[in-house]
Amino acid sequence: MLPSFNYKKQESRLFGKVLRPLIELEAYSEVTNDWVVLENVLADTGADISMLPRIMGEALIGDIMQGKKAQVKGIVPRARMNVYVHTLKFRLNSKRFNLPVAITDSDEVPIVLGRVKGLDIFNANFKKGKVLQL
Amino acid sequence: MAKTYSYVVLVGGKIVYRGKNLKKMLKEARKKYPGKQISIRCEYPEEILVAIIQL
């Protein structure tokens, strides 16, 4: 049985309500030495790499600055954000995978499941803006 | 809907902590609720979410 997630209805200033492909994943926390469920993870085919806000990175691995320093960019011209890339253990149902994650220098970013070693290892099927099957 | 990003810790679907020190909240939840499944939820602000990330 493939896991599927109903899109979640959220508030939007422009649309009033908007449906988003927000899923649940489990991540292994080196801080508590057990698995923690991450809710509202944005499944994002526009993201090369997966991303976590700093506050969540610190809750999962402690010192985020031990990772490989890099910069990411998005749609804003010339704007870049410092990140620390780590490989974290994730699981979805019974499937375990090691995921490269850019932990940002900011708390003001969404949790993103991007393509590389993330969405790309699943047969992701976005169904008419209502359901995501992985 | 939050005006900015906010984070909560849930046990059994119920919010047990809300705040900015997620690491501390997670540790306390694990200590207080041994063996229970713990979840972290990020609540997003009311804005258009466009996430294109290039490394």
- In chain B, what are the domain boundaries? 1-55
**Which residues form the domain of A29?**
4-133
pTM for this one? 0.91
Write out the two tokens for A110: 């969404």
Q: What is the CATH number of the domain that holds A33?
A: 2.40.70.10
B39 and A49: CB-CB below 8 Å?
no
Percent of chain A with pLDDT over 90: 80
pLDDT digits (tens, 9 = 90+) for A29-75: 999 999 999 999 999 999 999 999 999 999 999 999 999 999 998 88
The residue-averaged pLDDT of A110-114 equals: 94
Q: Work out the number of other CB atoms within 10 angstroms of the CB of residue A68.
A: 11
Cβ-based contacts under 8 A for chains A and B: 110
Distance from the A52 Cα atom to the nearest Cα atom in chain B, whole angstroms: 10
Write out the two tokens for A50: 């997966």
Q: How many domains does chain A have?
A: 1
In a 13 Å sphere around the CA of A18, the CA atoms on its Cβ side amount to 16
Q: Would you say A14 and A72 are in contact if contact means Cβ atoms under 8 Å apart?
A: no
In B, which residues are within 8 Å of A37 by CB distance?
Answer: 37-40
pLDDT digits (tens, 9 = 90+) for B6-16: 899 999 999 99
Nearest by Cα to A58 from A106, A112, A113:
A106
Q: Compare CB distances from B53 to A10, A38, A74 and report the shortest one's residue.
A: A74
What ipTM does the predicted assembly reach?
A: 0.84
